[in-house]
Structure 1
């Protein structure tokens, strides 16, 4: 008889998820093809096939297979994969439309705190879908809607990091302290989540409803991992070997494939088609719940006379719920019969004997067995299958002694072969289980103690979870504050925040790279190099932010290190734009502008939205005095990222060289609006205004630049020069003295000091600084000599006067 369709498709889906979880994408893709061929009209099979193609880096194939159901919005998985493929293929509005049409499938879903080692949610929730919508709107140049989506996504899940970084890059003002804090909503979600996974309680687990679970089976027979043999014994020996080992203390080589978790003192859990998790985990145990598996058929009287373990006994459970383990077979033995020397057909482990009236036979003190007394079959079976857990062993041992003692006193008990609902015993239809102390009180199952302990420990576990969540939120708050400050170019604040991280978190490639970028933005290239060296030590094959590191080396004129970095990045990934940017910077440092331009163009081909590569390309065109091409390159950078201040600065630089000072000032101001703490950009504005014959306004900008960067040589030099134009000689002299201490080997500083001392009629100091400038820059000897000769001419004129 051929298997039914749900069985085949369910097994194929489980295999696909198995290979996806183990990152075996090619295997998953092959199996998804088999499933799609078996169910070509199924949206689920189309989704899995499209997902495998997307993970394989084939967005066009993913778009093709998910288009049918995804574009209509009838299947959430197909719509989500279709939107991701559209983001890669540039079909942004198609992706947005698909997600909007499937809104009813994801609008009310939240999977936060529902993922673990043994549980997965394979379809996205509202936070993930809205974040993807934001990326599509941003790519479609609708920044307002993109920001709205990112904000909504973060409200649903504050750990949606890419949504946060996208908001930072968009220049949105964010109150990080309000975002990453322990809110009542988060606490409620932690408290409402299921108890911690059994992996935290026991290492002997078989995940219930785990990552390979299809959630589509309606009975145990439909589950490929549920063994339900027609023979009553085989299901125990093969389908539940973990339980077999638990009861027998044996080590069966067959791996357990049961769908549930076996805990100490717990009965076999529910079947995997139960909509909830294992109810024992939640403490929902009721004596009237018919949740145990079907009992195996009872066997006739047959002595155990085989190998060490003999034939597997009837399907056994632990003694936790003794009232439920009576055999339901043998209808001919329904009448109560007192026990003589013959063993009962189907003994029940740990069951107490009853009198004719149906009451429990009491015995205050258990007596040891007589050495010569024949051993009854139930006792042999009890000794043969001995539980491994200490509580269970002690319980069954005590009960075994009581059973033997009842027989030794001569009291003729009755066999209670009733089912878990209770059978008639001498007219008594109420099943009264007894405890091991023989007091006639109701006995709690052995597993119930674990359940109660679990319930008692639930509160401390929740407290620990909330404490852990608070710690993670604090960590994210520091990381987010540093990231936000760096995005707003508040570099000192970013460095200070990131340095407050714990050492283990601070000494990571991402954090060190952010600190290095912060120093780079302040033009502190030596400090930036130190952090990037540590990044390369920790992560030799890291590519992110390496284009910044190559520019740092370019500014420091470290030719050998720059060439070696480019070689390393090419070896790591030849198709990464960062590697080609490093190679381009290396050629640029060697004045090979043509090769540098080829490298930067290759970087933009690999990533058309890599604004930094366009900016580097534009600067190379400026060096070649190809201003029209430079303008095109910088405009392409702004088109890729309108907040890329380097491209705005490049446009201002080109217009300044072309003599269009008004345009240059406007573009410089646009750059300063994005990065208000960059002293170089403010100096550029001052220089353009100075060229427009407005020295007082230029002085204001130069003073602002020196306040932002006190160690900036360029800002102080231009400030001193404009002070000399304004005839503020004492203030200019003070600036130049500070500048001489900052850059003692700068020829222009000594030359300007010589001219200032010449104006102040201090010939000795003037000659001293002119001579120093001549020694530092022999190429400018003609200008310096002319200034010295002019000094002598002025002295001669003074003597004649």
Structure 2
């Protein structure tokens, strides 16, 4: 085991190969299963996932035969990790769910945190947000003040549009650490969704003060400033974002938003195309459509708008309708914009 921890894999393998026949000779089934588990851990470390799966399954078979429960909870997340690497996601989920059920019935709930954490990640990736939330809720009953868990749950609650719940978790994080920059950013995101742009700007400013080199915070503040028409301040934030992450698609996109607000159609087209080259988001495409209308390329603009409409979910359509309403107030003669807004509103 020490050799394994030191990444001395061949030495570890040699020791395990010596141990396994001894356990079998003296009929120590637990020692045999634990050595099989160790081979599985070694195979995981070497990214030999098929071998890891086979070792862990052999070990589990023995643990079941002898009624050993604690070690079954240890193996569950490791076997699931191997299964995930082999694209056996459903089997990995079943393994984790069985492991969690077993761990809950054992005093001290061994390995339950590890099992639930991995299960939550899988459910998030599969967009099973309610299932992920159940995992985070249970994890937080075990560790109520764990920042990583609070951040993950807040993010899931935000995606589920439970903004009050997300805000409560971000507030809790700030009680634990008043300089948690990502918690301040989360508060800003929630307040922006709740229609409190000034509060959002204040929260983003606190995030920037706590972590000045994070471009996401600067871009988020720029977005809210653009929505409020505070374009000079937004430009300063866009320039800062360019210093921190010049070729990030969201940096290009934020510049595109600013240029649209100012009627810089050609500059907006350039920025949105740069964003789309890295991130085929309907949000950038909706912006590109406006830039093309502004440049008089109306048919091209409608083509981009229609393409974005097929990609966009209801939230993106609603946010775009809101943005188009602001742009129409600034550029009332812009062709296409009023009709596009009506189409977006009609689909809500």
The reply to whether residue 54 of structure 1 matches residue 44 of structure 2 is yes
Query: For residues 161 and 668 of structure 1, do their structure 2 counterparts lie closer, same or farther at Cα, with a shift above 3 Å needed?
Result: same
d(CA) in 2 for partners of 1:84 and 1:162? 20
Shift of 1:48: 2.3
Deviations 1:469-501 (A, max 9, x none): xx9962178445225246659462542332464
CA contact (8 A) 1:86 1:95 kept: yes
Map 1:603-682 → 2, pairs under 5 A: 616=277, 634=280, 646-647=281-282, 649-650=284-285, 657=301, 659=303, 664=308, 670=314, 672=316, 676=319, 681-682=320-321
Q: 1:513 to 1:156 in 2, by over 3 A?
A: farther
Contact 1:525-1:555 within 8 A present in 2 as well: yes
Larger Rg: 1
* C-alpha displacement of 1:135: 1.8
Distance in 2, Cα, partners of 1:108 & 1:473: 33
Provide the TM-score with structure 2 as the length reference: 0.58
**Deviation of residue 550 (structure 1)?**
6.9
Structure 2 counterpart of 1:496: 205
Which residue number in structure 1 is paired with residue 35 of structure 2? 45
Confirm or deny: 8 A CA contact 1:519 1:527 kept in the other structure.
no
Counterparts in 2 of 1:59-98, with a 5 A limit?
59-70=49-60, 74=69, 75-98=72-95
Match of 2:133 among 141, 147, 158: 147
Structure 1 position 527, deviation (Å): 1.8
Does structure 1 residue 527 correspond to structure 2 residue 153?
Answer: no
* Alpha-carbon spacing, 1:179–1:519, altered in 2? closer, same or farther (3 Å): closer
Secondary structure of the residue that 1:102 maps to in structure 2? helix
Q: Which runs of structure 2 are paired with 1:160-171 in the superposition (5 Å)?
A: 161=148, 164-165=151-152, 167-168=154-155, 171=159
The equivalences for 1:227-626 within 5 A come to: 474-475=176-177, 478-479=180-181, 481-485=183-187, 488=190, 490=192, 492-499=201-208, 501=210, 506=211, 512-519=214-221, 524-530=237-243, 532=244, 549=248, 552=251, 616=277
Contact 1:517 1:548 (C-alpha < 8 Å) held by counterparts = no
Matches within 5 A, 1:696-707: 698=325, 702-703=328-329
Residue-by-residue CA offset, 1:549-599 (whole Å, 9 max, x unaligned): 476379889xxxxxxxxxxxxxxxxxxxxxxxxxxxxxxx9xxx9xx9xxx
Q: Distance in 2 between matches of 1:163 and 1:54?
A: 29
Q: Deviations over 1:244-271 (max 9, x none)?
A: xxxxxxxxxxxxxxxxxxxxxxxxxxxx
Structure 1 CA distance for aligned equivalents of residues 147 and 21 of structure 2: 36
CA distance in 2, matches of 1:76, 1:146: 20
Check whether the contact 2:205–2:221 (CA below 8 A) recurs between aligned residues.
no
C-alpha spacing 1:650/1:660, structure 2 compared with 1 (3 Å): closer
Q: TM-score, normalised by structure 1?
A: 0.29
| Secondary structure of the corresponding residue to residue 177 of structure 2 | helix
Change (3 A) 1:480 1:516: closer
Which whole-Å deviations, capped at 9, do the CAs of 1:707-740 have from their partners, x for residues lacking one?
Answer: xxxxxxxxx3x24x359x99xxxxxxxxxxxxxx
> Which structure: greater helix fraction?
2
CA separation in 1, counterparts of 2:321 and 2:327? 6
8 Å CA contact retained: 2:174, 2:183: no
Cα 1:140–1:108 change in 2 (3 A) is same
Is there any run of 5+ residues in structure 2 with no aligned partner, and where?
193-199, 225-233, 257-269, 290-298, 339-348
1: CA distance between counterparts of 2:16 and 2:174?
37
Confirm or deny: 8 A CA contact 1:70 1:80 kept in the other structure: no
Pick closer, same or farther for the CA change 1:652–1:147 going to 2, 3 Å.
Answer: farther
User: Are the equivalent residues in 1 in contact too, given 2:219–2:254 (CA < 8 A)?
Assistant: no
From 103, 123, 129, give the equivalent of 1:106.
103
Greater Cα offset, 46-55 or 157-166: 157-166
Q: Which residue of 2 aligns with 1:132?
A: 118
Distance of 1:63 and 1:109 partners within structure 2: 25
CA-CA distance at 1:168 after TM superposition: 0.8
| 8 Å Cα contact 2:282/2:311 also seen in 1 | no
Give the deviation of 1:521 after TM superposition: 5.2
1:382-438 deviation digits (Å, cap 9, x = unpaired): xxxxxxxxxxxxxxxxxxxxxxxxxxxxxxxxxxxxxxxxxxxxxxxxxxxxxxxxx
CA contact (8 A) 2:124 2:132 kept: yes
Aligned residues: 277
